[in-house]
Amino acid sequence: MPIQQVTAESLGGFLERVAALRKKWRTGDDDTEIWYRGQQKAYWALTPKDYRRPRRPHWDDDEIREEFERRAPSLTIERPHNAWDWYFLMQHYGATTRLLDWTNGALIGLHFAVKDDPGFYDAAVWALDPWWLNMQVVRQDEVVPLGAPGTS
Protein backbone atom coordinates (compact mmCIF):
# COMPACT_ATOMS: atom_id res chain seq x y z
CA MET A 1 0.00 0.00 0.00
CA PRO A 2 1.81 3.15 -1.14
CA ILE A 3 1.61 6.36 0.83
CA GLN A 4 -1.25 8.54 -0.33
CA GLN A 5 -1.85 12.11 0.71
CA VAL A 6 -5.27 13.69 1.02
CA THR A 7 -6.16 17.04 2.51
CA ALA A 8 -9.03 18.37 4.56
CA GLU A 9 -9.82 22.00 5.31
CA SER A 10 -12.44 21.39 8.01
CA LEU A 11 -13.53 18.89 10.64
CA GLY A 12 -16.31 17.72 8.33
CA GLY A 13 -13.82 17.23 5.51
CA PHE A 14 -11.52 15.27 7.81
CA LEU A 15 -14.36 12.98 8.90
CA GLU A 16 -15.33 12.42 5.24
CA ARG A 17 -11.73 11.40 4.44
CA VAL A 18 -11.67 9.00 7.41
CA ALA A 19 -14.99 7.42 6.34
CA ALA A 20 -13.70 6.98 2.78
CA LEU A 21 -10.49 5.41 4.07
CA ARG A 22 -12.37 2.99 6.32
CA LYS A 23 -14.54 1.98 3.37
CA LYS A 24 -11.52 1.54 1.08
CA TRP A 25 -9.55 -0.52 3.63
CA ARG A 26 -12.51 -2.61 4.83
CA THR A 27 -11.48 -6.25 5.08
CA GLY A 28 -14.95 -7.74 5.14
CA ASP A 29 -15.73 -7.33 8.82
CA ASP A 30 -17.00 -4.18 10.45
CA ASP A 31 -14.02 -4.00 12.80
CA THR A 32 -11.35 -2.98 10.29
CA GLU A 33 -8.70 -1.50 12.51
CA ILE A 34 -6.91 1.65 11.44
CA TRP A 35 -4.30 3.39 13.56
CA TYR A 36 -3.85 7.17 13.48
CA ARG A 37 -0.97 9.41 14.48
CA GLY A 38 -1.31 13.17 14.65
CA GLN A 39 1.76 15.36 14.12
CA GLN A 40 1.91 19.12 14.43
CA LYS A 41 3.98 19.50 11.25
CA ALA A 42 3.18 17.50 8.13
CA TYR A 43 6.82 17.46 7.02
CA TRP A 44 7.96 15.64 10.18
CA ALA A 45 9.01 12.06 9.50
CA LEU A 46 7.51 9.14 11.40
CA THR A 47 10.46 8.86 13.74
CA PRO A 48 10.43 7.64 17.36
CA LYS A 49 11.82 10.00 19.99
CA ASP A 50 14.82 7.69 20.51
CA TYR A 51 15.96 8.38 16.92
CA ARG A 52 15.21 12.12 16.67
CA ARG A 53 18.45 13.26 18.24
CA PRO A 54 21.97 11.88 18.39
CA ARG A 55 22.04 8.77 20.53
CA ARG A 56 24.22 8.60 23.59
CA PRO A 57 26.89 6.03 22.71
CA HIS A 58 26.95 4.55 26.22
CA TRP A 59 23.17 3.89 26.43
CA ASP A 60 21.22 1.20 24.67
CA ASP A 61 17.51 0.41 24.82
CA ASP A 62 17.90 -2.25 27.49
CA GLU A 63 19.94 0.03 29.76
CA ILE A 64 17.39 2.84 29.44
CA ARG A 65 14.55 0.41 30.21
CA GLU A 66 16.40 -1.05 33.20
CA GLU A 67 17.03 2.43 34.59
CA PHE A 68 13.36 3.26 34.12
CA GLU A 69 12.40 0.03 35.92
CA ARG A 70 14.55 1.08 38.89
CA ARG A 71 12.89 4.50 39.08
CA ALA A 72 9.33 3.43 38.21
CA PRO A 73 8.16 2.79 41.79
CA SER A 74 8.14 6.56 42.36
CA LEU A 75 5.89 7.06 39.30
CA THR A 76 3.34 4.29 39.34
CA ILE A 77 2.15 1.13 41.04
CA GLU A 78 2.09 -0.68 37.68
CA ARG A 79 4.66 -3.44 37.28
CA PRO A 80 4.81 -4.72 33.69
CA HIS A 81 5.51 -8.40 33.09
CA ASN A 82 7.76 -8.15 30.03
CA ALA A 83 10.06 -5.77 28.16
CA TRP A 84 7.38 -4.63 25.68
CA ASP A 85 5.05 -3.62 28.48
CA TRP A 86 7.89 -1.68 30.09
CA TYR A 87 8.49 0.17 26.80
CA PHE A 88 4.78 1.06 26.59
CA LEU A 89 4.84 2.39 30.17
CA MET A 90 8.02 4.35 29.42
CA GLN A 91 6.33 5.88 26.38
CA HIS A 92 3.33 6.86 28.50
CA TYR A 93 5.60 8.75 30.91
CA GLY A 94 7.53 10.51 28.13
CA ALA A 95 10.73 8.51 28.33
CA THR A 96 12.85 8.07 25.23
CA THR A 97 11.84 4.87 23.44
CA ARG A 98 11.81 3.34 19.99
CA LEU A 99 7.99 3.44 19.95
CA LEU A 100 5.62 5.82 18.18
CA ASP A 101 2.27 6.68 19.74
CA TRP A 102 -0.69 5.59 17.62
CA THR A 103 -4.39 5.54 18.41
CA ASN A 104 -7.37 3.81 16.88
CA GLY A 105 -9.35 7.07 17.20
CA ALA A 106 -9.16 9.38 14.18
CA LEU A 107 -10.29 12.38 16.25
CA ILE A 108 -7.64 11.64 18.89
CA GLY A 109 -5.03 11.68 16.12
CA LEU A 110 -6.46 14.98 14.89
CA HIS A 111 -6.33 16.39 18.42
CA PHE A 112 -2.60 15.71 18.70
CA ALA A 113 -2.02 17.17 15.23
CA VAL A 114 -3.63 20.52 16.01
CA LYS A 115 -3.65 20.95 19.81
CA ASP A 116 -0.54 23.17 19.99
CA ASP A 117 -0.47 24.27 16.35
CA PRO A 118 -0.29 28.06 15.99
CA GLY A 119 -1.30 27.70 12.33
CA PHE A 120 2.06 28.39 10.68
CA TYR A 121 2.41 24.88 9.22
CA ASP A 122 0.19 22.17 7.84
CA ALA A 123 -0.48 19.47 10.43
CA ALA A 124 -0.80 15.79 9.52
CA VAL A 125 -2.74 12.77 10.66
CA TRP A 126 -1.13 9.56 9.47
CA ALA A 127 -3.27 6.45 8.99
CA LEU A 128 -1.97 2.90 9.08
CA ASP A 129 -3.44 -0.56 8.65
CA PRO A 130 -1.41 -2.40 11.33
CA TRP A 131 -2.30 -5.89 10.10
CA TRP A 132 -1.29 -5.10 6.54
CA LEU A 133 2.02 -3.67 7.75
CA ASN A 134 2.67 -6.67 9.96
CA MET A 135 2.14 -9.01 7.00
CA GLN A 136 4.65 -6.99 4.95
CA VAL A 137 7.31 -7.00 7.67
CA VAL A 138 7.06 -10.34 9.47
CA ARG A 139 4.73 -12.17 7.09
CA GLN A 140 2.51 -13.30 9.93
CA ASP A 141 -0.93 -12.18 11.00
CA GLU A 142 0.11 -11.79 14.61
CA VAL A 143 2.43 -9.47 16.47
CA VAL A 144 5.81 -10.97 17.26
CA PRO A 145 6.88 -10.30 20.88
CA LEU A 146 10.20 -8.69 21.73
CA GLY A 147 12.93 -11.29 22.14
CA ALA A 148 11.13 -13.96 20.11
CA PRO A 149 13.36 -16.24 18.03
CA GLY A 150 14.39 -14.54 14.82
CA THR A 151 14.06 -10.99 16.12
CA SER A 152 16.84 -8.69 17.16
Q: How confident is the model at residue 69 (pLDDT cuts 50, 70, 90)?
A: confident
pLDDT of residue 99: 84
Q: Summarize pLDDT for 11-25 with one digit per residue, the tens.
A: 999 999 999 998 888
In total, the chain counts a number of residues equal to 152
Q: What angle do CA 54, 57, 63 make, to 5 degrees?
A: 110
- Which of 134, 101, 123 minimizes the C-alpha distance to 1? 134
pTM: predicted TM-score of the whole model, two decimal places? 0.74
Backbone angles phi, psi at 142, to 5 degrees: -140, 160
Separation between Cα atoms, residue 146 and residue 138, nearest integer Å: 13
Give per-residue pLDDT as tens, 88-142.
888 888 887 888 889 989 999 999 999 988 888 999 999 998 877 777 777 665 6
Interval 23-47 mean pLDDT? 83
3-state secondary structure 19-53: HHHHHHHCCCCCCCCCEEEEECCCCCCCCCHHHCC
